[in-house]
Structure 1
């Protein structure tokens, strides 16, 4: 699954200021709503938090990948928030998070959900790619890193 087909310039937020992970998730969901990718931002937000409460999605290296399958989602999307300052997030390596990659898929798209997660996880195993993501300062740079 090609991540770049699912993330557009409008889906990337840079220098986001948030106090905690819930606020980051809300900003990403509000952006999805603004761009008409969800039917209900409240339902989408609730579904993401319900999944997050089952098991934290902090993968380490300052990155988290919250995700959901939700009846509120119109189409598969990948949204990214690059935070101005890191926020506390339960992660595998105990580090705070500065990059949040949100995966949202319609409820009937379980196979797509798994393919997107697998593709992202494979990319993020590359430490150089993670470093490049952290060093990216523009939307274009983030998209270029994900194309690697």
Structure 2
């Protein structure tokens, strides 16, 4: 599965306004629930927060990727939010997260879950890409940027 198959423009929220890590995760999950059929969002929230307790998903460089595997979905879905002020995610570099991807995947596909996390990480590892995402004015613009970055990545790895 590709990033741009699981993430659609209507699942991108600009701006996020939640306070703190739990507030932003809750806000993104509510956004996801409004724009995608998601059963038992409270269970998914509990699973994501439980995952955060194990180890932070604040990967650094202004990015966090909260995620979980669950039996409440049959396919992968990704939401993305931009928080202008940044949110403390206990990131590895101690900096606030401004770009927050949320990945929810079926617990029956752990390998694909890891591959999607890896794909997101590779795409956003480039500083210019992160800056470009933050300078976008619309969800559609972010989606097009990510689609192009993913296309280029797939050319390199194939």
Q: How big is the shift at 1:11?
A: 0.6
Q: Which has the higher helix share?
A: 2
Matches for 1:1-148 after TM superposition, within 5 Å? 1-147=1-147, 148=149
Unaligned runs of 5+ in 1: none
Q: What TM-score does the superposition give when structure 1 sets the normalisation length? A: 0.93
Q: How big is the shift at 1:34?
A: 1.9
Cα distance in 2 for partners of 1:10, 1:125 equals 24
Q: How big is the shift at 1:56?
A: 0.2
Q: What TM-score does the superposition give when structure 2 sets the normalisation length? A: 0.88
* Cα deviation digits, residues 69-116 of structure 1 (max 9, x gap): 011224201110111321111112111111110011011111210110
CA-based RMSD of the aligned residues comes to 1.3
What count of residue pairs does the alignment treat as equivalent?
148
* Cα deviation digits, residues 15-38 of structure 1 (max 9, x gap): 121111111111111122223432
Q: How big is the shift at 1:4?
A: 0.9
Cα distance in 2 for partners of 1:16, 1:31 equals 10
Unaligned runs of 5+ in 2: 150-158
Contact 1:37 1:75 in 2 (8 A): no
Cα distance in 1 for partners of 2:46, 2:35 equals 19
Q: Secondary structure of the equivalent of 2:14?
A: strand
